[in-house]
Chains A and B, each alone.
Chain A
């Protein structure tokens, strides 16, 4: 069965510093995608970044980058130059493309609460 594990319930980082949020996943399939979402206290889910299992380069989107280590089955999110507005819950999620007729559903981890200190 597919599973996403986020082992850090909470993290603190100083403003302007970089922070890494850990995510490991478990799947026996070769074709899958990994996503990171941000959830502020308002509750909305904001898509941050995506990495496909066949992508050779790590994904980057502005201050966000994904440290993808396929052999270790990890997909850590790196936020550079943290800002106060980065304080939120962060969720790692996976879609298994090899599953037919699954409607593109995502499986989510438990989340990491990031607090940015001024």
Chain B
């Protein structure tokens, strides 16, 4: 079945550590996205990529980094520079004109 796989589902991090969230899609979509969701809030765009080896900052990119070395993969690194990283992270992909297809999300907690 085609879809988006995010891992891990739950992740705990100590302050000062970098962590990487994985996102893989087999939908053959060109565009991929990372959103952050805080409790009771909407989704805010962190980074997006329209094509391999290219990506753009979204509204809240500070403290995050991404790479797009393969069409299927768009990992997100939450760096120690992100002051409040505890949140629910959602990865998505699309053709660029249709709806976004989402993964099941990764919940990051900073201890």
Whether both chains belong to one complex is answered with yes
From A43, A103, A106, A108, name the one whose CB has the most chain B CB atoms within 10 angstroms. A103
Is A54 on the interface with B (CB-CB < 8 A)?
A: no
Interface size on B, residues (CB 8 A): 30
Are the C-beta atoms of B97 and A104 separated by less than 8 Å? yes
Whole-angstrom CA separation of A110 from B90 in the bound complex: 15
B-chain residues with CB within 8 Å of residue A35 when the two chains form the complex: 99-100
Q: Which of B54-103 contact A (CB under 8 A)?
A: 56, 58, 88, 90, 92, 94-103
What's the least CB distance linking B11 to chain A, in Å? Answer: 14
Interface size on A, residues (CB 8 A): 22
Is B45 on the interface with A (CB-CB < 8 A)?
A: yes
Q: Give A80-118 as 1s and 0s: 1 = Cβ < 8 Å from B's Cβ atoms.
A: 000000000001010001000101111111110000000
Describe A's contact surface by its main secondary structure: loop
Is B31 on the interface with A (CB-CB < 8 A)?
A: yes
Whole-angstrom CA separation of A105 from B97 in the bound complex: 9
Whole-angstrom CA separation of A44 from B48 in the bound complex: 19
Whole-angstrom CA separation of A44 from B89 in the bound complex: 11
What's the least CB distance linking B80 to chain A, in Å? Answer: 25
Q: Give B25-54 as 1s and 0s: 1 = Cβ < 8 Å from A's Cβ atoms.
A: 000000101010000111111001110000
Are the C-beta atoms of A101 and B42 separated by less than 8 Å? no
Whole-angstrom CA separation of A93 from B44 in the bound complex: 11
What's the least CB distance linking B97 to chain A, in Å? Answer: 6
B-chain residues with CB within 8 Å of residue A106 when the two chains form the complex: 43, 100
Is A42 on the interface with B (CB-CB < 8 A)?
A: yes
Whole-angstrom CA separation of A111 from B49 in the bound complex: 25
Whole-angstrom CA separation of A103 from B49 in the bound complex: 7
**Would you list the 7 A-B pairs with minimal beta carbon distance, nearest first?**
A45-B102, A104-B96, A108-B42, A103-B50, A108-B43, A43-B105, A47-B99
- A4-B42, A104-B31, A104-B97 given; 17 more Cβ-contact pairs under 8 Å: A9-B40, A35-B100, A43-B88, A43-B104, A43-B105, A44-B104, A91-B42, A91-B43, A93-B43, A104-B96, A105-B33, A105-B45, A105-B48, A108-B35, A108-B44, A111-B41, A111-B42
